[in-house]
Structure 1
Amino acid sequence: MRVPVVHQQGRRRRARYARLLWNGAEVVVTLGVVLLLLVAHQLWWTNRQAREGAERKVQALEREWEAEGEKEGEGGREDGVASGESGAAPPASRTGSGSSSGSGSGSGEGRSGTDSPPRWDQAYAVLRIPRLGLRVPVAEGVGKSGVLDKGYVGHYPDTAQPGRVGNFALAGHRNTHGEPFRYLDRLRRGDRVVVETRAAVYTYAVDRTLPRTSPGDGGTIRAIPRSTVKPAYGYTEPAHYLTLTTCTPQYTSKYRLVVWGKLRSVRPR
């Protein structure tokens, strides 16, 4: 009768391989879960958080402007009575002549709503695009942490302020962090873009679109916007311009999409 020989070494080797395979599978599953959580955070949570924060800021700005308007209205009535008694001229309108921040400012209509340049990262205007159902704050600067990642639209420094001669140039995320400009490519010629400040409401009309250009195409935000990469796109004469920029294609930052508009009307608040 033959006695079976048990190969202990081979059995231990197979057990070791099984443990390694199990541990590797655990690592892969863990990494997959972590990646899914990161994707969910970027595509869902950052959007929810940024949109809620941006809407709160819009509401805060509107309440602030409304309160200032009521206060100035009461002051205006008091001044009117006083001026009527003394024969003095009434106080000047807040939408009259005055200084404006940003390059390209000149003898344009209205004011930016502030007598001095907005502070860096300060939200000071509201951008509305009816076709996109968009209502979002405009803040000074295009930094990520202080402006864009909050779901705001950022104003390029050294470009004109709303309603001034020159180019009021803005940037916004297309994906994640509120993605205010996700559907910017849906805008068509003639669509309204409204910018509201504490001083006035400026209505622009979409005029031209540059579907794709390089991120370094600085000509698109100059006072007279014209692409340095694709010179066929742009303008040649001074005017009251609006420029909206974002990344393209979606979920990448390889190129830039640019939409230009021109000022059509100004309404004092």
Structure 2
Amino acid sequence: MRAISTAAHGSPGADRVIEGPTPKHAQLREILRRTVERELPPGAAIPSERELAERYQVSRLTVRSAIGKLVEEGLLSRVRGKGTFTAARRMELQLYLMSFTDDMRRRGMAPTTEVLRTSTEVPPAPAASALGIGADTPAHRLMRLRRADGLPLAVERGWYHAGRLPGFFDLDLTQSLYSQLDQAYGVRPDHAWQTVWAESADRETARLLGLRTGSPLLVFRRVSSSQGEPVEDMTSWYRGDHYQVTMQLDRNTPDSGHHSHYGGTR
């Protein structure tokens, strides 16, 4: 990252941090903001805290404060163990039935999946109701971390109908689940209710996604069925700095459509 020339902006302190009424971290933040917005492409690495501190003759605490604010604004993104990067343009979350694997491949990205936890146990009441099973009936529980081009993008925690999916954990759960359900059971999810809300990352989710605790997330709860029979109740936590949702709205009366009863739960 090169310093921005004073000639380009016409003010004598535009590319350096000076003594004055404006706090140094605020001055540096604006210098970095201009550089990111005007000179660096999405996904570009910025210099280390030490390099920036030496370049602008400020403390590393000042650098950390300036960068932290830009991370909060979504202009920069920290990747644990790798550094700080200009934020990639947000991907549009698709509001139709498609697996994460297929979606990332369609975008030209390489998807990978890490299985974090599996079990067969009695699910909480909302999941049991969504799957149409009795209160004491076990279901398959699956937790996965989804990455694209090596970057962690989503944590999935799902429940699956054990009666309709025997031998579920014999599948390769690191691959597209929807493709394998079709191949192994002839189960092809063809309908779903999806609920969307915003949430702050708890400690575990933040750690998995390489974020700070409290970072903004987009959360999707999807209850999927195949030929009218529910098979999946999955909640996905997506990084808020990498995703957005766009919807088409029509002018209808509030009671003109069917309302889902699958609300979000923690």
TM-score with structure 1 setting the length: 0.25
Greater radius of gyration (CA): 1
The structure that is helix-richer by fraction is 1
The structure that is strand-richer by fraction is 2
